[in-house]
Amino acid sequence: MLEVRLHGRGGQGLVKAAHIIVKAAVEKGKYATFIPFFGVERKGSPVYGFLRLDDKPIRLKTQVYNPDCLVVFDDTLLEEVEVFEGIKDNAVLLLNTNRMLSELALPAEVATVGLVNATDIALQQLGRNIPNTTLLGAFCRVTGWIDLDIVQKLVAAEFGPENAAACAAGYAATTLVQVR
Amino acid sequence: MKLSDVFWETEDLVSPGLSACPGCAAELSLRTVLRILGPDTILGIPPGCMAGAGAVGWNRLSGVKVPVTIPLLDNTASLLSGIRRYYLRQGRKNVKVVAFAGDGATADAGFQALSGAAERGENIIYICYDNEGYMNTGFQRSSTTSKGSNTSTTPVGQLSQGKTQHKKDMPLLMALHDAAYVATISPAYTQDFVSKVEKAAVVRNGLVYLHVFSPCPTGWHFPPEDTISIARLAVQTNFFPLWEYENGRFRQTLAVSQPKPLAELIRRLGKFHHLTEAEIADMQDWVNHKTELLTRLFAAREDLAP
Amino acid sequence: MARIEALTGNESAARGAALCRPDIIAAYPITPQSSVVENLARMRANGEIDAEMVEVESEHSAMSVVQGAALAGARTFTATSAQGLALMYEPYFRMSTLRLPMVMALAGREMTSPETIWGGQQDSISVREAGWIQFYVEDNQEILDIIIQGYKVAENEQVLLPVNVCYDGFYLSHLIERVEIPDQELVDQFLPPRRAEHVILDPQRPMAVDPMTPGHLLMKYRRDHLEAMQAALAVIDAVDAEFGRFFGRRYGGTIETYRLDDAEVALITIGSTTGAGKEAVDHCRAQGKKVGLIKVRVLRPFPEQRIRQALRNVRAFGVIDRSVSFGWNTGALYQEVLAALGRSGWALPSISFIGGLGGADITLDHMLAAAEQVLALAENPRYDSPTIWLD
């Protein structure tokens, strides 16, 4: 079982992106669950959620404490929230940022880093700073755990062709770095 | 229907021997209402005098001869909404779903449910018999109890002169909900009573609210044989004016050209015996104010209607 | 053909309800239940269901509207949580005591105060003596399936009682996962339309429903109600078996046991925390520790005999509650299990664990620790173990 924690801000579409991942896994005949950590609905406040992926039914209906992967929708969260708490060794990090790897202080557990300026891509493709569909493409690229074509199809059906294009652009624009 | 025909041709659907108090206006009104609405009626009678008198009883032995249940004190309009919705769904539009509720179940505990049903335009006929308090449990005050009333929860004492607030104006509130049809009804004016219930019976575009003035000999302290004359006096003093509201318009159904002084009504009711001239004058002012307000509503031009 | 989709718990509840073809739905939004109402409203707006939706002004009216509709013969549905359930208590109690069958989804939420909007089971636990049948489920598939089973149980002539399908707020209501949605035609065969016989408000069959009732008669009604509850135990098991034949999924009726056959100690769970419990059992088993699990699926009626039967070979047990019994300084389910044992003159060393209140998590680590504590208790039996808080 693979465990993912997603960190974002209200209004960035974190829950909808996680639902696409779950749907993509289910469509492939696999299993996935996602639980949002739920607060009062407000734009801009930190939000997070817990994703699990597996080949067999997932019985655990709990929060994720030791993620294999972190998806961070906004690099300002790195200073604000304990994003890296509990991560497993050899963890994967996907970060929406315009910074270079050298400018980031990452914990030793992180082995694989995907960097993408999803905000810029979203602004170009959609005219709005909603980076979720761009990050979905980047997630496919960084993890390889779900299929880009299924994700793109689901994004197109749910959010329209511009978002599907953002998804593809996110996949292409992601810088993948093996730091260990 | 002509008045004589109402009582000649229709069946009394309330069984004999209902154990209401002598002179009870509510029982009389219930009998008249059911004569007009007929057997294709489902009745909800929440806790109150009429339920206590056995109207929700064993069918055809006591109680009423139509299907009847006792809603909670505070959910009559919601419960009946559910019944009516299912009848509409089944295409049985002619089954009338009717509440016969006291003022406590209407203006106090049940007000939220009634307000919601009116706002949703539920096609139920909601009849409130207003005897100005919780009469079957010992005359506690309600929000429709008149100012100055000596009740068991607003007793007259060294520091108290009875209830300190005026009566909540339920029919006006329901008109302002844009209910499909609203009317005030007095058991002393039977032709007016009958025609309003007949009108209510065929309304299909929303909620009907009928507010029936129900003098209570037991709680208000007057002789049982005076019920009708007290009801008549309430209309003639403008204490309980007769009007109706439909299609956004208010209409007076009985004009009182020479209103009698309110003191004539007050002097005949034991619950007001302690009132001073000044307190009676205050109540007269309130009646005058209400009369003026209604007069303006009656005069509102048709083009002001929605 | 059944379809596979990813659904949240609330979507599963709405889809399950829709498959049962309710005539009247009345509900009022409340966190975490709201998306049940929203989903049903959307299905209605798109013509996917043909139920009447009544957009009431409160939960009190929601239960009252469906009660009126049920009295007229309708099949009805509603859903709520915590404060909404508390507000509807008055017509809620009456639904069961009028013996009116229906299903209500309950997205469990902690009761205020302290002020909270998050999960817990104190809401449904607090009304366990209001005469309703209460199911507690583990995942979204079970939410959908038990709503369908629930109508079949509720409308059974031996039962005629309303059913609550309780699922944990957020941990299931907002969890999305794979759910198999059965075929409408197959559900129609499994669940024929409701036939209302015992009470009905209909001018063609005039009757007075609920006149003032003297004590000796009221006692008879209560006794009948209790007997119907007991009859429901067998009906629930039978409906589950029939459901299995129709849809290929069974849940074990009133309880489910997991790796219990040779277990020395048992964990007893209720609701979504069962999954973590089963994972903990597997961890223990991998280390040679003989731990098993009992999932209580129905709290009312309480499956007293099956619980006793399930515990007959264990040396100690622990109950994981997501609610409290204020009078006992333990969890609520714990007391129910003790009573089931005590009535047969039997005692076992046991521990009450309380966790998961107000949205707090009951983690795998909690479950593993609980299992260790119960194993230790089996080695050094005592009957006065203090309550352990999983915090």
CATH of the domain at B155: 3.40.50.970
Give CA–CA dist A71/A48, Å, rounded: 10
Q: What is the pLDDT of residues A126-153, one digit of tens each?
A: 999 999 999 999 999 999 999 999 999 9
- What is the rounded average pLDDT for all residues in chain C? 97
Q: Which of C376, C373, C380 is CA-nearest to residue C355?
A: C373
Specify the pLDDT at position C89.
98
Nearest CB partner across the interface for B83, out of C26, C55, C68: C68
Q: What is the mean pLDDT of residues C7-12?
A: 98
Percentage of chain C surpassing pLDDT 70?
100
Which residues from B are below 8 Å from C210, CB to CB?
Answer: 56, 69-70
Please tell me the CATH superfamily of domain A2-178, with its number.
Pyruvate-ferredoxin oxidoreductase, PFOR, domain III (3.40.920.10)
pLDDT tens for each residue of C299-310: 999 999 999 999
B42 and chain C: CB distance < 8 Å anywhere? yes
Helix (H, G, I), strand (E, B) or coil at B143: coil
From the list C32, C170, C364, which residue is nearest A60 (CB)? C364
Say if C and B touch: at least 3 Cβ pairs within 8 Å: yes
Q: What is the mean pLDDT of chain A?
A: 96
In chain C, the residue whose alpha carbon lies closest to the alpha carbon of B109 is C60
* Predicted confidence band of residue B61 (pLDDT cuts 50, 70, 90): low
Average pLDDT, chain B: 95
Residue C134's SS3 state is strand
Tell me, what DSSP letter sits at residue B104? Answer: I
| Mean local confidence (pLDDT), B290-299 | 95
pLDDT at res. C116 = 95
* Mean pLDDT for the stretch of residues C119-136: 98
Nearest-angstrom CA–CA distance, C42 and C40: 5
State how far the alpha carbon of B246 is from the alpha carbons of A4, A15, B122, B203, C13, in Å: 62, 50, 15, 10, 42
Q: Tally the domains of chain B.
A: 1
Distance (Å, rounded) from C-alpha C122 to C-alpha C112? 10
pLDDT given at position B60: 60
pLDDT computed for residue B302 by the predictor: 59
- pLDDT exceeds 70 at position B59: no
Strands A46-54 and A31-37: antiparallel
ipTM greater than cut 0.90: yes
User: Nearest CA of chain C to the CA of B305: how many Å?
Assistant: 27
Flag whether pLDDT at B303 surpasses 80: no
Chain C interface test: which of B65, B75, B84, B123 (most C C-beta within 10 Å) = B75
List CB contacts (< 8 A) between B63 and chain C: 208, 211
* B305 pLDDT higher than 60: no
Residue C277 has pLDDT above 80, yes or no: yes
Poorest-pLDDT segment among B49-63, C127-141, C146-160? B49-63
**pLDDT given for residue B57 in this prediction:** 84
Instruction: Count Cβ atoms below 10 Å from residue B143 Cβ, excluding itself.
Output: 18
Q: Which chains have at least 3 CB atom pairs separated by less than 8 Å from chain A?
A: C
Name the pLDDT band for B2 (thresholds 50, 70, 90): confident
Mean pLDDT of the C311-325 span = 98
Q: Domain of B127?
A: 3-304
- Number of cross-chain residue pairs from B and C with Cβ atoms under 8 Å apart: 139
Which residue of chain A is at minimal alpha-carbon distance from C179? A26
Per-residue pLDDT, averaged over A91-107, amounts to: 96
What structural domains does chain C harbor? Answer: 3-247 (3.40.50.970), 255-390 (3.40.50.920)
Across residues C71-84, what is the average pLDDT?
Answer: 98
CA A77, A79, A82, A84 dihedral sign is positive
Q: Residue C205 and residue C219: Cα distance in Å, rounded? A: 26
Interface test with B, best of C23, C55, C76, C201 (most B CBs within 10 A): C201
B1 pLDDT tier (thresholds 50, 70, 90): confident
Within 10 Å of residue B202's Cβ, how many Cβ atoms? Answer: 10
Give, in order, the Cα–Cα distances in Å from A19 to each of A154, C9, C182. Answer: 10, 13, 22
Q: What is the pLDDT of residues A13-29, one digit of tens each?
A: 999 999 999 999 999 99
CB contact under 8 A, C208 and B72: no
pLDDT at site C42: 97
Spell out the domain ranges in chain A: 2-178
Give tens-digit pLDDT for A30-50.
999 999 987 766 788 899 999
In this prediction, residue B286 has a pLDDT band, given cuts at 50, 70 and 90, of very high
